[in-house]
Amino acid sequence: MNELELVERLRRISWPSKNLTLGIGDDCAIFRPQAGEELLFTTDQMIEGVHFTRAQSAASIGERALARSLSDIAAMGGDPKFCLVAMATSDTKWIEEFYRGLLRLAKRTGTALAGGDLARDEKFHCDVMVCGSVPRGKALRRDGARAGDSIFVSGRLGKPWDRKIEPRLALGRTLRGRATAAIDLSDGLALDLHRLCVASKVAAEIDRVPMMRGATLERALHGGEDYELLFTLRAGAKPPRGVTCIGRVVRGAPGQIHFEGRPLEPRGYDHFHE
């Protein structure tokens, strides 16, 4: 199978999407925005030996690659619209399996495959860009938390890495116009809460962390790849079902976190930490 055949096969298995005037097969995809919509853009890489190993199935890697970007769309309260997938591998069979996993999640979440780029490389790596949509001015951002707000997380933390990611798209939509700030937990609760607090110029006190069965506190606080949502609500606001209040936003040095009364270091996954 050569590159043209690969692209043609992907074109056939992808599906038309409202507002996507032109998908795979030209120099660019064409998207026609709707009146009153704002667009969200995020991109995430998956690299063999860094984010996964070949022991995992290509389909699960494809699904995970898309899920990571969809989690960012969820954290901003968006509806996914389409994705672009850039990929390099030396194994064309792997490509088909990868796309099978990716497209299964894409279909389920309404994300069209609009295009991408293919190259040959010994080691597998990919980059998945997702565009989402949100009503104008309604995107959930990191910078709106205020002293007195309550802090919540969805689900339970400390997931083992190989667990399937379920991007919290429905919760994100529910939080539009309600949450004062939100972020997805990709690098660990301590580091991601620190980031939210830095952006909002506030501090935080947390006193409980909902944990997966078998997870250590260390992993629940500092392990990455949970892909749950962390968000803040005004004090007294009714939270959506199935989320846990873990603490509150307070005045203080921007980004400073206390856990059970003690300072919590914003450690977490950092690709460039020496």
Q: Which of the residues 222 through 261 are near a second copy (CB under 8 A)?
A: none
Q: Please identify, using beta-carbon distances, which residue of 215 and 264 lies nearer to a second copy.
A: 264
CB of 187 to a second copy, least distance (A): 9
33 binds a second copy (CB under 8 A): yes
Cα dist from 94 to 53, 58, 88, 118, 259, whole Å: 13, 6, 10, 13, 44
Which residues, other chains included, contact 266 with Cβ-Cβ below 8 Å and sequence gap of 6+? 190, 191, 193, 194, 195, 255, 257
99 binds a second copy (CB under 8 A): no
CA dihedral 142, 19, 125, 95 (to 10 degrees): 150
Distance CA 183, CA 74 (A): 9
Distance CA 7, CA 65 (A): 19
Q: Please identify, using beta-carbon distances, which residue of 30 and 235 lies nearer to a second copy.
A: 30
Radius of gyration for the alpha carbons in the chain, expressed in angstroms and rounded? 19
Residue from the set 11, 13, 15, 41 that interacts with a second copy by CB under 8 A: 41
CB of 130 to a second copy, least distance (A): 8
- How many residues bind a second copy, per CB under 8 A? 70
Residues 73, 67: contact at Cβ < 8 Å? no
199 binds a second copy (CB under 8 A): yes
Site string for a second copy, 49-88 (x = CB under 8 A): xxx--------------------xx-xx-x---x-x-x-x
Residue from the set 13, 15, 18, 25 that interacts with a second copy by CB under 8 A: 25
Distance CA 112, CA 79 (A): 12
4 binds a second copy (CB under 8 A): yes
Bridge partners of 231, per DSSP, are 152, 182
Q: Please identify, using beta-carbon distances, which residue of 44 and 205 lies nearer to a second copy.
A: 44
Site string for a second copy, 143-162 (x = CB under 8 A): x-------------------
Residue from the set 11, 120, 208, 251 that interacts with a second copy by CB under 8 A: 120
Number of CB atoms found within 10 A of residue 51's CB: 18
Strands of the sheet with 229-233, listed across from one edge: 181-184, 229-233, 150-154, 243-250, 203-206, 257-259, 262-263
Q: Please identify, using beta-carbon distances, which residue of 103 and 183 lies nearer to a second copy.
A: 183
Burial of 176 (0-12, 13-18, 19+ CB in 10 A): middle
CB of 214 to a second copy, least distance (A): 28
Site residues for a second copy per CB under 8 A:
1-4, 6, 21-22, 25-33, 35, 37-45, 47, 49-51, 72-73, 75-76, 78, 82, 84, 86, 88, 92, 114-121, 123, 125, 127, 129, 131-132, 134, 136, 139, 141-143, 182-184, 195, 199, 270-274
